[in-house]
Structure 1
Amino acid sequence: MILRFFLFIALLSSCFAACREAQHPQQEYHPKKKTVKKVTAVKQDTTQRDSFCIAAVGDIMLGTSYPDNKTLPPDSAKGSFKNVFNELRNADVAIGNLEGTLLDTGAPANYRLHQLQRPWLFRMPVAYGGILKDAGFNLLSLANNHIGDFDDAGRKSTMHVLDSLGINYGGQVSHPTSVFKVNGVTYGFCAFAPNGYTLPILDLKYAGRIIQQLKQRCDIVIVSFHGGGEGTAFEHVPFGMELYVNEKRGDVNAFAHNAIDAGADIVLGNGPHVCRAMELYKGRLIAYSLGNFCTYRCVSVIGVCGMAPLLKAYVNKKGEFLSGRIIANIQSHNHGLEPDSLGRVITRIKMLTETDFPDAGLTISDNGLIMPVKE
């Protein structure tokens, strides 16, 4: 039995691809009481406007102090977003997927198991929360498979830090949604994943109810999901249930359409660590995966995994998509996040969109401009 156990552990470790992250058991939760946090944003704008900007990026992981400080950036992450400050700070809403915890000390969940294989455990120092705030992020998704790397201590510390900074968030069963106001517009946010203690991506009816309730209270509803397989083999949307390491990762096309049917105005995907196509559905924008954005050292940034788009989507007060722009960036382990003058991620997303959604309802130009197709 002992020999079989170690053979199983070795087989599991070999499944980790170049862009692989640690997994946690899939669980679905249906809380009886939905916690909604209401935050009044600092930004104020009394002028009449007909468009509002949502800046969206994929995975954010600014370095981990586990197992030691060798995997923390030498500048304490202060320069992580220096090349995109203006794009993030000038948006009404700037959102990313926080792929890990904000926690200074503590042992990981399932500690003994992680001693038998290489760990992918993300514990960002608490002080790094200020880096996110200073960059302009006012909304983060906590629905992913790394928010639980350090069990309840990590989840609670992360939420406490974001609360103290006035950064809105959602996706945890204990805090599924946020409602907040920026420049006279009321936004609602929720996020879903196939992982424990997160809102379940696999239950479309439940997701629809959460989104519908938000839309009744808000002008614009933003939905994030963490779904799909991981790595370079998963750039395309498969239009069916995705499995990865024997875990159901959701039917992301069905989820996104269901979300918009229920009242979502923009749907933003993450999880595959590569970019995926975009689509316009019922006048609302879907980005099926925004890939990695700022992931120091412990996440592969080789090839397409290093392409780091910053999406700027402009919507009206009803949430209808007006236009957008993909700002091309690229990551390397030596230089971090940098502008990409070659625009490689624009070319990639354009190709994936034209391949997977020939009737996507939008066009992407070579310089990253996204426009709805006029009927």
Structure 2
Amino acid sequence: MEPYSNENRSSSPAQQGSGYDAVASIETNVACGFTMVAVGDLIVTRPLTKYQGEDFAAVVKILQNADAAFGNMETNIFDIRSFKGSPQAEYGGAYHVSLPELGPDLKAMGFNILARANNHAFDWGLEGMCETSHALDQNGIVHAGAGKNLAQAGAPRFLETPRGRVALVSFASSFTPLSRAADPAGEAPGRAGVNPLRLAKTTVVLPKMLESLRRIRNALPGFKPSREDPNRVVLSGVTYKSGEIASYSYEADKRDLANILRNVRQGKQFADFCIVTNHGHQPGNWYQEPPDYEQSLAHRLIDTGADAYVGHGPHQLRGIEIYKGRPIFYSLGNFIIDDLRTPVGADMFAAYGKDPRIDTDAEVTADEMTTGYETDPGFSDPVFYESIVAVSRFEQNRLAELRLYPIELDRSKRLANRGVPRRAPAPQARGILERLQKLSKPFGTQIAIVDDVGVIIVRANSPQ
């Protein structure tokens, strides 16, 4: 490993002087050979490194060889026998909980930097969040995105590596309403939770549909006519607007966005490399394309100082873009869904029509994973069990190569054994990569397939 020192840094004349150069402050500034490994969601309930075989070890080795090994931590860590909290009435669709042994096991896998802002961070309330933070801190794993107030949840956190200091800013565009962190205001104390990016959702319908909705709205009791946008209707709390194709549209909250951009700027000012990560399910786990707001957001974050944008949440792969020589992963799918969760909480039993006096936690989990709940398809589709491990290598302070290792999570196995990643066999690996090629094509990204591994070469002055 090349040692990290001031000689490895790129420096402009402005950086060498005493003044502050805003342009230089957003440049990548790592030693040659710096690698970031990024994976998607970690839904894991038990230690795995001691009990899995060579197939899992081959995947783990990729993480262990990275300078920064990143994933989205989508579970809580505590011992239910001594836990002082309780399952929350609002939860992220399932109560994710893991044994305390997961902390050292994540470290053994090679993970050293994790996102915490997601819809499961508050499944077990403040107590669950704090226990999880303690477990990660004890094992020297840097984590960001959840805290005792908004300032703590949104703040960049830092990982020291031999090739440069890495900042992480984690936020969520999908979260339970009561898990949104807030700062103190006057005498009112702050509120613990996750770093949020609130989105205003609009349903786009054809003009004739909009007129039908307008007539329905006008006929309902309590409606009071007023001056309004002719291309927009609000009905039962849902905003509709006219468009050429039925779809969903999102607009980011300006205050949340300003807070995130400030933290990204600060993260890069105090680090050599900045990872920014967004947990969002929009418009749903069934959708393979990023929502309409996300590309412009990712570009703006990179313009502010992010060196990599990592999306996760929809539990399946979405496309990859290279913007100004930096990687954008719109979703990396699942890395582990070893979801032997117990206990699942009374609310989940009720949601799936189960009786805790008769049915087991595993039977509730199986229903949730195969049938989903409301508009969530669950994990019945094989697409949720196929993903990649993305390795970004930087040379001369620029992205030189992306290697994409296809993985599969053994969907065919029984519940107690499935969900653990292994390198996908040749025919399946090619299928995963060909799907990723199609998903990435709209962004102008060309992915070569070499020995069943996806390769993106980013040359100097390349259009990518």
TM-score range, shorter chain: 0.7 to 0.9
Match of 1:110 among 88, 91, 105: 88
Q: Which residue of 2 aligns with 1:315?
A: 394
Q: Which residue of 2 aligns with 1:56?
A: 38
1:79 is aligned to 2:52:
yes
The letter of the residue matching 1:273 is H
CA–CA separation in structure 2 for the residues paired with 1:178 and 1:187: 8
Query: 1:270 touches 1:288 (CA, 8 Å); kept in 2?
Result: yes
What number of residue pairs does the alignment pair up? 304
Q: Which residue of 2 aligns with 1:5?
A: none
Give the 3 Å change call, closer, same or farther, for CA 102–44 of structure 1 in structure 2. farther
Deviations 1:172-223 (A, max 9, x none): 1434321222014111111110322222224222211111111111111111
Give the 3 Å change call, closer, same or farther, for CA 232–348 of structure 1 in structure 2. farther
1:366 is aligned to 2:408:
no
Q: Indicate the structure whose relative CO is greater, using CA pairs within 8 Å and at least 6 residues apart.
A: 1
The letter of the residue matching 1:219 is D
1:337 is aligned to 2:421:
yes
CA–CA separation in structure 2 for the residues paired with 1:128 and 1:120: 19
The letter of the residue matching 1:269 is G
Query: 2:78 touches 2:132 (CA, 8 Å); kept in 1?
Result: yes
The letter of the residue matching 2:145 is G
Give the 3 Å change call, closer, same or farther, for CA 89–281 of structure 1 in structure 2. same
Unpaired segments ≥5 residues, structure 1: 1-42, 64-71, 240-250
TM-score between the two structures when normalised by the length of structure 2: 0.61
Q: Which residue of 1 aligns with 2:118?
A: 144
1:124 is aligned to 2:98:
yes
CA–CA separation in structure 2 for the residues paired with 1:221 and 1:119: 30
CA–CA separation in structure 1 for the residues paired with 2:167 and 2:310: 14
Unpaired segments ≥5 residues, structure 2: 9-30, 181-192, 199-255, 340-364, 370-378
CA–CA separation in structure 2 for the residues paired with 1:152 and 1:252: 29
- 3-state SS in 2 of match to 1:268: strand
Query: 1:170 touches 1:189 (CA, 8 Å); kept in 2?
Result: yes
The letter of the residue matching 1:340 is A
Give the 3 Å change call, closer, same or farther, for CA 316–60 of structure 1 in structure 2. same
The letter of the residue matching 1:161 is A
Query: 1:180 touches 1:187 (CA, 8 Å); kept in 2?
Result: yes
State the structure with more CA Rg.
2
Percent of counterpart pairs with the same letter?
A: 28
Give the 3 Å change call, closer, same or farther, for CA 305–181 of structure 1 in structure 2. same
Q: Which residue of 1 aligns with 2:403?
A: 325
Query: 2:49 touches 2:109 (CA, 8 Å); kept in 1?
Result: no
Q: 1:1-375 maps to which residues of 2 (within 5 A)?
A: 45=3, 49-63=31-45, 78-79=51-52, 81-105=56-80, 106=83, 108-111=86-89, 120-172=94-146, 173=150, 174-175=152-153, 176-194=155-173, 195=175, 196=180, 197-202=193-198, 203-229=256-282, 233-239=286-292, 251-297=293-339, 299=369, 300=379, 302-316=381-395, 318=397, 320-333=398-411, 334=413, 335=418, 336-341=420-425, 342=427, 343=429, 344-354=431-441, 356-357=442-443, 360=444, 362-367=445-450, 368-372=454-458, 374-375=462-463
CA–CA separation in structure 2 for the residues paired with 1:46 and 1:261: 25
TM-score between the two structures when normalised by the length of structure 1: 0.74
Deviations 1:101-138 (A, max 9, x none): 11111454434x78xxx961101111111110000000
CA–CA separation in structure 1 for the residues paired with 2:93 and 2:4: 49
Tell me the CA shift for residue 231 of structure 1.
5.3
Question: In angstroms, what is the RMSD of aligned CA positions?
Answer: 2.6
Tell me the CA shift for residue 325 of structure 1.
0.6
Q: Which aligned runs of 4 or more in structure 1 are off by greater than 6 angstroms?
A: none
- 3-state SS in 2 of match to 1:233: coil
Deviations 1:259-295 (A, max 9, x none): 1011000011100111100111122110000001111
CA–CA separation in structure 2 for the residues paired with 1:366 and 1:108: 48
Q: Which residue of 1 aligns with 2:226?
A: none
Tell me the CA shift for residue 77 of structure 1.
7.4
Give the 3 Å change call, closer, same or farther, for CA 119–227 of structure 1 in structure 2. closer
Tell me the CA shift for residue 150 of structure 1.
0.3
> Greater shift after overlay, 218-227 or 341-350?
341-350
- 3-state SS in 2 of match to 1:285: strand
Tell me the CA shift for residue 83 of structure 1.
3.3
- 3-state SS in 2 of match to 1:351: helix
CA–CA separation in structure 2 for the residues paired with 1:136 and 1:121: 25
Query: 2:286 touches 2:314 (CA, 8 Å); kept in 1?
Result: no
Query: 1:236 touches 1:352 (CA, 8 Å); kept in 2?
Result: yes
- 3-state SS in 1 of match to 2:316: coil
CA–CA separation in structure 2 for the residues paired with 1:110 and 1:345: 37
